Structure 1
Amino acid sequence: MPDSKEILESFRCIIPWASRLGELDDSVWFKPIAEGKASTAEIISHLQNWDRYLITNVIPSVLGGDGIVFPDFDPFNSVAYDYAKSGIGRNQLLEEFCATRAELCDLLASIGDNALREPVTANGFELCPHTGTPYSLLYIIQEFIEHDQHHKVQIDKALL
């Protein structure tokens, strides 16, 4: 597994990219990225909602010696989509997302390498069913980096 500092820096790299989205016109910001898909606003809110969940639920649970429990995705994501449509301004949502991601990265950095690599369960599983890799906070963060990248590519493609 790569160095934890490199992984955390990679996780933080979405902040400058997201900040540039403040230049978008509202008609683009709220437009679905494709037929039947979320808008850029909804995706950023979705990413922020997951970051907040990691800060308030996942990390305390892991540090307390418990496993990770992820919520049912659809209702969880609906909360984020509703927030994006609640009237919050584009710049405010982007500022909230960037601040939350920075807070999460700082929190993870403060935990230390050993705790980040400590094996944990995720929804009762010790190993990722796709890779067979033992779960750890660091592994989960790598999965969230892939999640970020997936949405970043979607947004960038829609904006071309």
Structure 2
Amino acid sequence: MISLGKSTILRYKEFTEWADTLHDVHESIWLQPISEGKASVGEIISHLKNWDTYLITTIIPAIKNDEGMVFPDFDSFNKIAYEHARSGISKDRLLDEFMQTRLHLVEILLADPDVVAKHVTANGVETCPHTGTPYSLLYIIHEFNDHDTHHKNQILTVI
């Protein structure tokens, strides 16, 4: 695997180190929206875990079967994650679920560089309409790194 790919995946793994500090977030903040109309810290972590799980259970098998990546409607998919965060699951358990899922995904990604680098479609489209970059799982992980940073910055405004 090219070093850029490995560094992108290791950056994805590094987010778990920061997420581990969220065990210290006060319970009164955990499920409060970070701002009006936005998700809470707990809902954000559940949302990230759900996307990692989706990559493991749906996207990676599809690529291995020479199929394209198909992503669900974001709003309804995220709603499921938010409901999980509000289901009564403890902060520590949800953080542990996220960490285990992310580390498992990283392990899979590092073990199969061909799947990671393979050019595939995303919802039937071959290249990103914004960058012109051909889609691959590595490209999605790169985008998810930016997504993680966005959510980290949101969380940092309330903790």
> Aligned partners of 1:12, 1:138: CA distance in 2, in Å?
13
Shift in Å at residue 115 of structure 1? 3.0
Where does residue 63 of structure 1 map in the other structure?
Answer: 64
SS in 2 for 1:92: helix
Where does residue 25 of structure 2 map in the other structure?
Answer: 24
> Aligned partners of 2:118, 2:100: CA distance in 1, in Å?
27
Deviations 1:8-36 (A, max 9, x none): 11000110111110011110111111111
Where does residue 149 of structure 1 map in the other structure?
Answer: 149
Q: Provide the TM-score with structure 1 as the length reference.
A: 0.96
Give the partner amino acid of 1:86: S
Q: Provide the TM-score with structure 2 as the length reference.
A: 0.96
Where does residue 128 of structure 2 map in the other structure?
Answer: 128
Shift in Å at residue 125 of structure 1? 0.2
Shift in Å at residue 158 of structure 1? 2.1
Where does residue 80 of structure 1 map in the other structure?
Answer: 81
Task: Give the conservation status (yes or no) of the 8 Å contact 2:60–2:115.
Answer: no
Measured at CA, do residues 146 and 2 of structure 1 come closer, stay the same or move farther in structure 2, by a change above 3 Å? Answer: farther
> Aligned partners of 1:91, 1:61: CA distance in 2, in Å?
32
Give the partner amino acid of 2:98: F
Note the aligned Cα RMSD (angstroms).
1.1
Give the partner amino acid of 2:57: T
Percentage identity across paired residues of the two chains: 51
Give the partner amino acid of 2:156: D
> Aligned partners of 1:115, 1:62: CA distance in 2, in Å?
7
Instruction: Give runs of aligned pairs for residues 82-97 of structure 1, distance below 5 A.
Output: 82-97=83-98
Give the partner amino acid of 2:132: G
> Aligned partners of 2:86, 2:115: CA distance in 1, in Å?
37
Q: Which runs of 4+ in 1 moved over 2 A?
A: none
